[in-house]
Every structure is written in C-alpha cells, then in structure tokens.
Structure 1
C-alpha cells in the first residue's frame, strides 16, 4: 500500500500522540521516584536517592515482593503444566465438545477481573469453605495464567503440525519418547514465552488477588495500593512502582523476542 506524504505525517503524529498518552504518566512516576520534594510537586525542585534507600530498607515492601514472586512462580508452574496438557489435547485430538472446552479454557482471561474475583471468592469461602491464604491466591492466578501458556503452545502446535510426531511413532518411538525428543524441543521457546507472560500477569495482578487473599497476604500491588495515599509513603510507593514496571516489562520483552525468533526460523 502506497500512502501519500500527508497521510504518513498524520499517521505518524497520531502514533506519537497515542504513545505519549500511554507512556508519559509512567515517565512521571519514574521522575517522581527521584523527586527531592516529599509532596511530589511538579516540576521537581531537585533529585535524590533517599526514596530508593527507604524502599530498599522497607521490610513491608521486601516481604510484599517476596510474596508476589512466590505466588507468580507457583502459578506459572501450574499454568505451564496444565496449559501445555490442554493445548496438546485440544490441538492433537478430536473429540465431542472440543470447541466448548477450548472456549472454557480461554474464558477466564476474557472475563472482567472483578467477576473472576467474586466467583472465586464465593467458591473458596462458600462452596469449599476454605480459609483465604496464599494457596487460594495461587489457584486464582493460575486460572488466567493457564490461558497465556495455552495460547502460546496451541499457536506453536498449529504452526509445526504433527508430521514429525507421526514419523517418530512410525519409527517405533513411544508417546513419552516422542514428546521428549520431538514435541518438547519444538515447544521450548513457546513454553518459555508463555511462562514469562504468565509470571508478569501474576506478579502485578491486584483485582483477583484482592478477592482471594486473606488478611495476612500482601502482594506487591496490594502493598502499593494500601500505601499510595499515605503522604509519608508516597515517594517510596513511586520507587516500588518503578521496580514493578521494570519487572513487568522485562518478561514481556523477552517473550516477544522469543516468539519473534521462533517465527523467523525456517
């Protein structure tokens, strides 16, 4: 498609405006993490590393980070196992209700977080009569983390087809041998990309966490929400928010690179 010079300039200007709208607020958060004024006045009157030191020495922030990391790691492991099994079953086999199961697997990430949170809270506290703990948060996060792994693995399985697996079976290899030597090597980058995305989703999730975490469970997003309106904690919250931005960006960037590298292979 050939675009006129005027259209190209208009599209370029629109792109800049959209990106500015999305990322300028994040830039303000980053700058405020070094703002010497505790009231976060703008423009900054000076810059300091005091808030970064206070954040590093904040026991509550450190505990919240560790809790979020633990939950994200376990939820990602569950998502990798179940998401891979589901994608293999739905992509390699034909059975009654296959399309319905596919819809039900994807549905949790399409539903509003507050609906998922309320439903899981009712299930845990009402139907199952469980006490809300770190375990309930992990289960809740796994419900939507599975979708990211499932989508990545299913897309890869569609792309590579099943001819190599059939050839392996024809040569006498069993199911597990075929998976270990043929299927898994083809899925490695998709699994890693899906796992990174699942970790990022779990690490910064707050809505579902709010409904499924007990009183003693404080993840990093919840800690930020609880402290952002306290004047003496606002600068520290900005620092923690910057760390959260970095932790969220890195897995997504790596996942994108891995997906791109895999698609570029012959």
Structure 2
C-alpha cells in the first residue's frame, strides 16, 4: 500500500532548503539587536533596542520610508484599477489579438528588471520626462498591474456568469450588478493582488534605480549604506523593517487566496 507520509530523506531535504533560504534573514534579524556596532561580530555581544531609536531618529531614514510608502500606495492603486479593468475585458470574450494583449500585460513581470528599467528610462528621455516620483510610480505600476491582473482574472474564471445573468434578469442595472455580485466575488482576490503589488513595489530596487533620478526610496537607501560600514547596525534595523513590511502583505495575500478556493457560484462540485 502506498504511504502518503514523506520519507525521512525528503523531510531532511525540505527542512534543509528552508534553512538555506531563511538563514540570511535570521542573521539580519539577529544583528539588528546586537549591542556591538561592529559589522557582524560573532557571537553577538548582547541584546539591545537602541539601534531602533537611532534609526528612527535619522531624517534620511524617515524620508526614505515616507517616499517608499507613498510610491507603493499610488502604484498599487493604479495597478488595482488597471489590472481589474484588463481582467474584466479579457476573461470571457474571444477576439482577434486577445492572446497578444494578454502576453503584453504579463510581459513586464517576466522581463529582467534591468531591461524594464532601461526601456522605461529611454522612453522617459524620449518624451523629455525628468526622473522623479512620477517615473518611479509608472515603473512600479507596470509590473504591479500583472499581479492584480493574474489574481482578478483567475477569480473571474471561477465565478459563474449565471450570477450576473440572474442579477440582470431581476432588474439590476450595471452598477448594482457590479456592486452586489461582481465586487463581493472579487474582493478577496483584489485585496490579495493589491497586497502583493504593494509588497513588490515597496522593496523594488532594480527598476527604481533607473527611474528614481535624485529620489531615494528605502531600498535605494539600503543599497547606498553598503559603502558605510559604520552604519551597519542601523542598516540591519532598516533591512529588518523592509522584510517585515513586505512579509506581512505576502502572508496576508496567501491566506486570503487559500481561504477562497471555493467561491460562491463557481460551479464547482
């Protein structure tokens, strides 16, 4: 009889992979609380929260945090609107060029970041647009749209069209159907896509490098700190904060989509 339990070797390999992936993150977390200000002196000399007060007292850190939050919020909002509209337009109807449009929508997330960054920079220069906050938002929105689009179109495909037809047959207009039928079915997928888009935008560095100009987001601040070994404890604190800010939306999106495997009216048996 075939056993559903994993073998010991498979368990060891799985745990080994998890340790390999998360050990660097653990090191950052560990040294964010180290009393020693030297760069990764082992073992840690003690436990302190002083570096947090030092980090959040620095104006450059606060400005970078504020800018990253602002950009991620705007890019996510744009992505949620455009991604939802694109999914609504493409999920059900067949027309000439549909596959090409779908591919173009997904392409920004598949391309290497350096290619996207160079292409955006060339386009901005071609139209005489100076790099700044607006160009960063546009750059981030290009790949954030993909995240929202993929989540929403998957939910559209699992939502029975008979619900929409029933709503219209009962006298509801387009807005009422959208408000009471479509939006409730899309809500968790839309929220999950928005959370993932926010996390992706908040810690994006490659595209930002080409589109930021003189602006400095939090990931760019961290990159600049690599040449300043005396600021390693503060850098560890900020890096830990970036990981937490991105980790929470990703976990939230995972649980949102996990808990909505069966959608009302999806027609699943």
Q: Structure 2 length normalisation: TM-score?
A: 0.94
Report whether the alignment pairs 1:8 with 2:36: no
TM-score, normalisation: structure 1: 0.95
How far off is 1:265 after superposition?
A: 5.2
Does residue 256 (structure 1) correspond to residue 254 (structure 2)? The answer is: yes
TM-superposed deviation, 1:210: 0.3
Equivalent-residue separation in structure 1 for 2:262 and 2:247 (angstroms): 22
Report the Cα distance in structure 2 between the residues aligned to 1:163 and 1:103, rounded to whole angstroms: 28
Q: CA deviation at 1:180?
A: 1.4
**Equivalent position of 1:57 in the other structure:** 57
Q: Please state how far the C-alpha of 1:34 moved relative to its aligned partner.
A: 1.1
What secondary structure, in the 3-state scheme, does the structure 2 residue paired with 1:241 have? Answer: helix
Residue 239 of structure 2 is matched in structure 1 by: 241
Instruction: State the 1:166 CA deviation.
Output: 1.5
Indicate if the aligned counterparts of 2:158 and 2:263 stay in contact, CA closer than 8 A: no
Quote the residue 1:141 is aligned against: 140
* Larger helix share, 1 or 2: 1
Q: Is residue 212 of structure 2 the alignment partner of residue 218 of structure 1?
A: no
Q: CA deviation at 1:249?
A: 0.7
Correspondence for 1:102: 102
How far is the alpha carbon of 1:200 from its aligned partner? 0.2
How many residue pairs end up in the alignment? Answer: 263
CA distance in 1, matches of 2:171, 2:35: 69
1:87-126, aligned counterparts within 5 Å? 87-125=87-125
Partners of 1:143 and 1:2 lie apart in 2 by 47
1:4, distance to aligned residue in structure 2 (A): 8.6
Output the aligned Cα RMSD. 1.5
Alpha-carbon offset, residue 138 of structure 1: 0.2
Query: Do the aligned residues in 1 keep the contact of 2:185 with 2:263 (CA within 8 Å)?
Result: no
Secondary structure of the residue aligned to 2:138 is helix
CA distance in structure 2 between the partners assigned to 1:4 and 1:150 by the alignment: 36
Structure 2: unaligned runs, 5 residues or longer: 265-269
